[in-house]
Amino acid sequence: MKHPIKTGLTVIAVIIALVAAFVAGLFIYVNATAKPLHPDPKAVSFVTQPGSPAKWAGAVEKGRQFVHEAVVAQNLPGASVAVGAGDEIVWAEGIGLADLEKRIPVTPATRFRIGGVSIPITSAAAGILIEKGRLNLEADVQRYVPSFPEKQWPVTVRQLMGHMAGIRSDEGDEEPLGERCEKTVDGLNRFAQEPLRFEPGTRFRESSYGWILVSAAIESAAGEPFSAFVRTQVLEPAGMTSTRPDAWQEAIPDRSTFYFPRFGGDPRYGPDPAREGDYSCFTGAGAYLSTPSDLVRFGFAVRGGKLLQPGTTDMLQTSQRLTTEEETGYGLGWSLETVDLAGKPARMAGHGTKNTFIGGTTSLMTFPELGLVVAMTTNTSFADTKSIALKVAQAFAEQGKK
């Protein structure tokens, strides 16, 4: 009679070997069948917004090279980029295809799902209400959203906006998208009954659901629907005429087709169509469509006084601290970082989409001391837009230095 332990170990080893062989075979198959979307890098289509100032020509040429190389290397269907310097958009360009099947090119007017880059827009709306004395950062959120259940610890608006509230985040690829939320507060049904993951203020953990709750607080404090308040108080004053909530069942002009990597969360292996669904429940956490040019206009408006007083902008773009006094590197709706540009450290305030299910990736970067704003979007999830946008910013910072 065979030893039962030895037999069991043998079976486990065989199972592990079979799984490893399957994964290796799948990887080889996906690699072999991956189709380059742009087989000729020199033939990638692009559409440039006319009117780029001649003094930025060198930076535009470098930026174009960086973006085109990245679109080919990452096998992205399409991308769009815009750069603002001083108080004007000095370069805007669409690269590749907005729709692979119909061969529709990306233009500077193409709208993309910006996901988490909706959060700074929501942050600006909160800042406007703070200035009016209608939203208190230190108040418990139930003051504005009484339907949100009391938790094991109190949760303040500041903690929600700083990703320190202990609210869980969405479920990524498993996120349900079949329901429609007529009111912002309806989006709370996804998470309102769950306990907090940690005591607010003790940890930093990004949560898109937390910003659904912030959106509901804004709607209550504003006394009108969230999207209407954002449109009249943020989008219109900033000149963001191409930015609006997504509604997949509507025929929205210039909206891109959206894609998702077919294997391993890596666009290099080719795209599948992204899941269609209703994003209305995500409101200010990730429901907006926009263009890079509109995002640049937003960056200008936040720093230029069109939307907020300078002190309010500084407050929103100041790193929060945990109860241990450790800085989080995140403000109130703004990611904060210091990067090297043109040989000097430059403070950056912006936001990006993480590896999400929306069928798009976006990076927004503002460099207040340099008067520089860079925005980049793609129509596939899991693209690395951050590194590309940083290279573009480097080219324009160097040109500006000259």
pLDDT tens profile 341-375: 999 999 999 999 976 788 999 999 999 999 999 99
> H-helix or E-strand containing 386?
helix 385-401
Contact 76, 258 (CB under 8 A): no
> Whose structure tokens read 């003790």?
202
Q: What's residue 3's pLDDT?
A: 62
Q: Are residues 232 and 327 in the same domain?
A: yes
The pLDDT value recorded for residue 9 is 58
The answer to whether residues 264 and 23 touch, using CB atoms and an 8 Å cutoff, is no
135 is a domain residue: no
301 and 348 both lie in a single domain: yes
Same domain? For 241 and 350 the reply is yes
The tally of domains found in the chain comes to: 2
Q: What pLDDT sits at residue 169? A: 87
pLDDT of residue 51: 87
pLDDT at 39: 86
Q: Which amino acid is at 207?
A: S
Are residues 272 and 379 both part of a single domain?
Answer: yes
Domain enclosing residue 28, as ranges: 1-33
Residue 209 neighbours by CB distance under 10 Å = 23
- Residue with the two structure tokens 């940083």: 390
Using 50 as the pLDDT threshold, list the residues of the chain that sit under it. Answer: 1-2, 19-30, 32
80 and 17 within one domain: no
pLDDT of residue 8: 59
Assess whether 46 and 76 both reside in one domain. Answer: yes
181 domain-assigned: no
Question: What 3-state DSSP class applies to 21?
Answer: helix
The closest of 90, 108, 128, 82 to 236, measured between CA atoms, is: 128
Note the Cα 111 to chain centre separation in Å.
14
Task: Note whether 231 and 276 are same-domain residues.
Answer: yes
Is residue 230 included in any domain, yes or no?
yes
- Domain assignment of residue 24, yes or no: yes
pLDDT at 279: 86
The answer as to whether 68 is a domain residue is: yes
Q: What is the pLDDT of residue 28?
A: 47
**Cβ(374)–Cβ(133) under 8 Å?**
no
CATH number at residue 244: 3.40.710.10
| 17 and 90 assigned to the same domain | no
Q: Which residues of 81-117 are buried (b: 16+ CB within 10 A; e: fewer)?
A: bbbbbeeebbbbbbbbbbbbeeeebbbbbbbbbbbbb
Alpha-carbon distances, residue 181 vs 185, 187, 287 (angstroms): 8, 6, 12
Q: What per-residue confidence (pLDDT) applies to 21?
A: 47
Co-location of 332 and 306 in the same domain? yes
**Is there a domain that residue 49 lies in?**
yes
103 φ/ψ sector (left φ>0, alpha ψ -120 to 50, else beta): left
Residue 194 lies in a domain: no
Is 238 inside a domain boundary? Answer: yes
Same domain? 327 vs 297: yes
The tokens of 362 are what?
A: 């976006």
Residues 106 and 2 in one domain: no
Do both 343 and 260 map to the same domain? yes
Taking CA atoms, 283 is separated from 20, 96, 111, 119, in Å, by 42, 29, 17, 10
Cα(262)–Cα(250) distance, rounded to whole angstroms? Answer: 26
